[in-house]
């Protein structure tokens, strides 16, 4: 089994850089949204970084992921360009999707990022399709489907579990259980109570993992991805974590207990836990991590400045990059 403690210094720095980039990116978008510069709806991934990064560490560009409405973290972890993403979220012409996707539809097929998605649970069939394609074309690629606890109850996800099993697809289902679907608690909404058992019902090996612990996510996901890659079929990872912001920007969060998020931030923050672990074990030192923090801050500040400076699509762009030629 892959041990996170065997990751190279460069890999550990990459993992920390990606997690820090997601946090900085999301915190900055929170601020910019408040200032009114970002159009549309935005769902932030802050707090959930160790999941996207812990999983995507074992993927390369030949592997595919399907994402969700809360997709910025998956994009960063899969290697999408941060400035292109920022421009996309600001709706600008030279954004990753020419400003036509926005926050909920960022995609970069060259990176195997098949798209954020406004339809909950819609990533299941997409990931199965990518996995079927990899299997038939013998690319050696695998597909990962990210989805939330609420989305785990959608029919399309349950059908995907079944199809992936009977077709023995190289796919890993990663449920990001942040405790809520909008305002509905997952402790109430998941019939039978256990997503691990639900996976078992479809014949999928399944495991629950602490989503604040990068090392735990990395190890569990690496084993499932390796399993898929070597032809042994699909599996399911139930990741328990917390989102730091509301369901969407502007959510008053009246359904959350006072202090709920502050407690996670002070006791189980994924970046703090990572820092503690690598310093304790002597894998990296505080100076290494401080340097990454500084570098990432610069990257995100520059991305925001570039996004603000770039232009909006024009009327002439309206019919470009659509499926039909007019």
For 313-316, the CB contacts below 8 A with 24+ separation are: 313/91, 313/92, 313/93, 313/98, 313/99, 313/100, 314/93
Angle at 251 between CA 248 and CA 252, to 5 degrees: 160
Q: Does 70 participate in binding ligand TPP (rule CB under 6 A)?
A: yes
**Least Å distance between CB 182 and ligand TPP?**
5
User: Among 189, 280, 190, 199, which residue's Cα sits nearest to residue 238?
Assistant: 199
Which of Mg ion, ligand TPP, none does residue 313 bind to, with CB < 5 to 8 Å depending on kind? none
Give the residue with the Cβ less far from ligand TPP, 91 or 150. 150
What's the longest Cα–Cα distance across the chain? 61
Q: Does 149 participate in binding Mg ion (rule CB under 5 A)?
A: yes
**Alpha-carbon distances of 292 from 120, 226, 273, rounded to whole Å:** 34, 29, 16
Site for ligand TPP in 177-196 (CB under 6 A): 178, 180-182
Q: DSSP label at 137?
A: H
**Least Å distance between CB 179 and Mg ion?**
7
Site for ligand TPP in 282-301 (CB under 6 A): none
Among 84-92, 174-182, 224-232, 292-300, the segment contacting ligand TPP (CB under 6 A): 174-182
Q: Does 178 participate in binding Mg ion (rule CB under 5 A)?
A: yes
3-state secondary structure of 304: helix
**Least Å distance between CB 188 and ligand TPP?**
12
Give the residue with the Cβ less far from ligand TPP, 112 or 123. 123
Q: Does 160 participate in binding ligand TPP (rule CB under 6 A)?
A: no
**Least Å distance between CB 3 and ligand TPP?**
29
Among 238, 240, 247, 275, binds ligand TPP (CB under 6 A): 247
**Least Å distance between CB 314 and ligand TPP?**
30
Contact 67, 113 (CB under 8 A): yes
User: Among 209, 212, 211, 223, which residue's Cα sits nearest to residue 276?
Assistant: 212
Among 129-137, 157-165, 173-181, 200-208, the segment contacting ligand TPP (CB under 6 A): 173-181
Site for ligand TPP in 112-141 (CB under 6 A): 118-120
Q: Does 149 participate in binding ligand TPP (rule CB under 6 A)?
A: yes
Which of Mg ion, ligand TPP, none does residue 199 bind to, with CB < 5 to 8 Å depending on kind? none
User: Among 151, 159, 156, which residue's Cα sits nearest to residue 178?
Assistant: 151
Give how far the C-alpha of residue 174 lies from the chain's centroid of Cα atoms, to the nearest Å. 10
Residues in CB range of 172: below 8 A, 6 or more apart: 55, 142, 143, 144, 145, 221, 224, 225, 228, 234, 235, 236, 237
């Amino acid at each position: 089994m892959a041990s996170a403690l065997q990751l190279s210094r460069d890999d550990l720095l990459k993992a920390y850089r990606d997690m820090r980039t997601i946090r900085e990116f999301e915190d900055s978008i929170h601020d910019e949204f408040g200032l009114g510069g970002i159009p549309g709806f935005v769902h932030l991934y802050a707090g959930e970084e160790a999941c996207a990064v812990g999983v995507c560490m074992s993927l390369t560009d030949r592997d595919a992921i399907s994402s969700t409405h809360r997709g910025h973290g998956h994009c960063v972890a899969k290697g999408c360009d941060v400035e292109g993403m920022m421009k996309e979220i600001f709706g600008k012409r030279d954004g990753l999707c020419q400003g036509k996707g926005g926050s909920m539809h960022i995609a970069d097929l060259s990176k195997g990022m098949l798209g954020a998605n406004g339809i909950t649970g819609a990533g299941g069939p997409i990931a199965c399709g990518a996995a079927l394609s990899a299997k038939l074309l013998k690319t050696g690629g695998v597909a990962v489907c990210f989805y939330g606890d609420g989305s785990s109850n959608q029919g399309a996800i349950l059908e995907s579990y079944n199809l992936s099993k009977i077709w023995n697809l190289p796919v890993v289902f990663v449920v990001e259980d942040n405790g809520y679907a909008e305002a509905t608690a997952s402790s109430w909404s998941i019939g039978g109570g256990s997503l691990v058992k639900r996976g078992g019902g479809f014949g999928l090996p399944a495991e629950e993992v602490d989503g604040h612990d990068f090392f735990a996510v990395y190890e569990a996901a690496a084993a499932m991805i390796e399993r898929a890659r070597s032809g042994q079929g699909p599996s399911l990872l139930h990741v328990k974590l917390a989102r730091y912001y509301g369901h969407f920007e502007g959510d008053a969060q009246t359904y959350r207990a006072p202090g709920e998020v502050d407690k996670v931030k002070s006791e189980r923050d994924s970046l703090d836990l990572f820092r503690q672990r690598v310093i304790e074990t002597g894998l990296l030192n505080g100076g290494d991590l401080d340097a990454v923090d500084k570098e990432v801050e610069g990257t995100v500040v520059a991305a925001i400045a570039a996004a603000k400076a770039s232009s909006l699509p024009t009327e002439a762009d309206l019919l470009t990059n659509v499926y039909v030629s007019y």
